Amino acid sequence: MIKNYFQREIEISGTQSRGAENSSKEVSKIQSWLNLYAFLNPSKGTSTGIDGDFGPATEKAVKNYQKANGLPEDGIVTQELFRRMADPMIKAFTQRVAGTGLRELMVNAAKQHLIAGARELTIKGEGNRGPWVRAYMDGSEGRDQLWCMGFVQTVLDQAISQIGGNFTNIVKKSFSCDTVAGEAQRRGNFIGYTLVRSHEYHVQPGDIFLLQSSANSRDWTHTGIVIESSGDVFETIEGNTNADGSENGYGVLRRTRNFMKSKLDIIRID
């Protein structure tokens, strides 16, 4: 895979514990995974502040994580324990994707990230942060790092790498929806929303959609992966979205979109 920044998010440089000479960066990573675990297991008491300080609150959150997983409750985070915390990302990125052709692989790779609970964190009042965002955005995070295209290109990279391909032969490596759309138009694998609406082109699972701004035909604000097409509706898996379909939401979600009401352009993946 080209997009392999995730490898930095599943390791820490050394054991971290209260009272030790800790690394603020590594402690923040531990705190991030404790909070991500809390989203999936809200009753386990692992949610805590993300400030890089391994204090009593973080120690208690670690012990609660250990208790929830049947482990000795010593509050010490070894590399082994940290990798267990980061297991959702390890599975999402490294587990072999089921399927054969690129389209099936694309859909199933997206589902792996969905099942893993991939989502951003808000740290010190700023969204678009955390290990999942950095993994999708090659290390970048922060308010302006809209990560929907990073998610799409990660999934495409993962799927096509499994059959020996290179995702940059299908889409330009960029986090900008505008840049990717413009390059797809030049390459000829771009299908405009008017053609999609006329049903002259049948959108297939694995294709990439681009949400066009209602005000500007050369402004695309969001992207995701089509996993099913029926009637006037696409079922999708998208990153950096929410229940309203925002282009700056909080996580990876499965959604439905009516392409007769929204300007949804398509990038074919074959």
DSSP class of 16: B
Q: How many CB atoms lie within 10 A of CB 114?
A: 19
Topology of 5-89 in CATH? Muramoyl-pentapeptide Carboxypeptidase; domain 1 (1.10.101)
Class (C level, CATH) for 98-267: alpha beta
Closest to 137 in 3D by CA, of 12, 246, 9? 9
Query: How far is Cα 158 from Cα 164, in angstroms, rounded to an integer?
Result: 10
Whether the model clears a pTM of 0.85, i.e. scores above it, the answer is: yes
Query: How far is Cα 243 from Cα 149, in angstroms, rounded to an integer?
Result: 18
Over its length of 270 residues, how does the chain's per-residue pLDDT go in tens digits?
999 999 999 999 999 999 888 999 999 999 999 999 999 999 999 999 999 999 999 999 999 999 999 999 999 999 999 999 999 999 999 999 999 999 999 999 999 999 999 999 999 999 999 999 999 999 999 999 999 999 999 999 999 999 999 999 999 999 999 999 999 999 999 999 999 999 878 899 999 999 998 766 789 999 999 999 989 999 999 999 998 888 899 999 999 999 999 999 999 998
Domain boundaries, the chain: 5-89, 98-267
- Residue reference for tokens 């705190």: 31
